[in-house]
């Protein structure tokens, strides 16, 4: 009876793992379509390394964009100078606010951002920030801009110019949605909508080595009276993708939940693949142990103390 129960649990675990893998493959490699495939989908550093992902599109004039961010309580950053860099470093060590701390330069279309805004907190190490670039193209007979937003969650020295720079939080989608919510409250936005932009990103790193993940959608923020015609949602596939990244973002922001989920996942893998793991252990463990014994013996002959 116990053997049948163990076999049943192993089959259920293997089935769950296969379903999860199929789910991941489906939402990652489904052929999503987008009206904005001609726009760059990632920023770059001055040296050309990939930076943070593009995740917003604005349609409207510069005056409309600046006014709406002002109304939403976002500020214009100071320029990057030795003085402002020193101030960031000092305020970071003291955990003081610096509401207009500089935003580092990123490049799209071969140039730095045309506009930048930030939403400060009581600690300079933590803030929302966004960069925008003119595209040179029109949507709804108005200029289109692409934007990159993420949440800064720490300060370090840049590996390229050795000046203070920020870590970004991995949940870039949450900051994208927060920007949309802030601007919507001003009453100046006529339309907000999600549109597929890239395939989902389960794991990526920017030039600073910061990890991030994204559902691949871009949030369109329209200030004009002419609605932007968008593609129809993919339906169930789109809902599966949204559900996965809602849970994924929750994991990335909740350490205890992430640890618990990791332990459950590891347990499922061990139970499902136990026959294979046992065979590998029986086949290779004697060889590994002999190799370790030989290594210890050689280290002893070279004069290293034995364990």
Instruction: Dump pLDDT digits (tens) for 95-119.
Output: 899 999 999 999 999 999 999 999 9
Taking residues 198-210, what's their average pLDDT? Answer: 91
Q: Would residue 24 count as lying in a domain?
A: no
Q: Would residue 275 count as lying in a domain?
A: no
Contact 228, 59 (CB under 8 A): yes
Q: Would residue 157 count as lying in a domain?
A: yes
Query: Quick one: which of 183, 224, 218 has its CA closest to 199?
Result: 218
Helices vs. strands in the chain: H and E counts, helices first: 7, 13
Q: Give per-residue pLDDT as tens, 206-255.
A: 988 899 999 999 999 999 998 888 776 668 888 999 999 999 999 999 88
Q: Which residue has the higher pLDDT, 171 or 279?
A: 171
Contact 56, 144 (CB under 8 A): no
Q: Would residue 285 count as lying in a domain?
A: no
Q: Would residue 43 count as lying in a domain?
A: yes
Q: Would residue 176 count as lying in a domain?
A: yes
Residue 163 has pLDDT above 60, yes or no: no
Q: How many independent structural domains does the chain possess?
A: 1
Question: Which tokens go with 238?
Answer: 């789109």
Of 7-11, 36-40, 41-45, 298-302, the least confident: 298-302
Tell me if residue 59 falls in helix, strand or coil.
strand
Contact 36, 195 (CB under 8 A): yes
Looking at residue 10, its pLDDT comes to 79
Containing structural domain, residue 68: 33-233
- The strand ranges marked E within 94-141 are 107-108, 111-112, 115-120, 126-139
Q: What's the pTM? A: 0.83
Q: Would residue 17 count as lying in a domain?
A: no
Residue 256 has pLDDT above 70, yes or no: yes
Q: Would residue 211 count as lying in a domain?
A: yes
Residue 294 has pLDDT above 90, yes or no: no
């Amino acid at each position: 009876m116990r053997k049948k129960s163990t076999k049943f649990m192993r089959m259920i675990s293997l089935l769950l793992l296969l379903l999860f893998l199929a789910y991941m493959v489906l939402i990652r490699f489904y052929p999503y379509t987008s009206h904005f495939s001609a726009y760059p989908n990632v920023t770059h550093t001055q040296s050309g390394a990939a930076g943070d992902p593009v995740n917003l599109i604005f349609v409207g004039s510069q005056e409309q964009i600046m006014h709406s961010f002002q109304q939403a309580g976002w500020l214009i950053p100071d320029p990057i100078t030795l003085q402002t860099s020193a101030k960031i470093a000092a305020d970071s060590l003291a955990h003081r606010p610096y509401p207009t701390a500089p935003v580092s330069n990123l490049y799209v279309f071969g140039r730095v951002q045309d506009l930048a805004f930030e939403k400060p907190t009581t600690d300079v190490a933590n803030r929302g920030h966004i960069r925008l670039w003119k595209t040179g193209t029109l949507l709804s007979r108005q200029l289109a801009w692409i934007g990159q937003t993420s949440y800064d969650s720490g300060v370090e020295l840049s590996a390229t110019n050795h000046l203070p720079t920020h870590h970004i939080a991995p949940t870039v989608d949450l900051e994208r949605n927060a920007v949309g919510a802030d601007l919507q409250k001003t009453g100046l936005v006529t339309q907000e909508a999600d549109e597929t932009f890239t395939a989902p990103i389960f794991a990526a790193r920017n030039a600073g080595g910061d990890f991030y993940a994204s559902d691949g959608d871009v949030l369109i923020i329209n200030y004009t009276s002419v609605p932007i015609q968008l593609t129809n949602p993919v339906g169930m596939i789109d809902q599966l993708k949204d559900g996965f990244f809602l849970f994924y973002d929750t994991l990335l922001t909740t350490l205890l939940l992430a640890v618990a989920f990791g332990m459950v996942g590891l347990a499922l893998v061990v139970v499902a693949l136990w026959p294979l793991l046992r065979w590998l252990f029986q086949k290779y463990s004697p060889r590994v142990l002999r190799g370790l014994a030989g290594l210890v013996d050689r280290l002893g002959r070279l004069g290293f103390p034995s364990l």
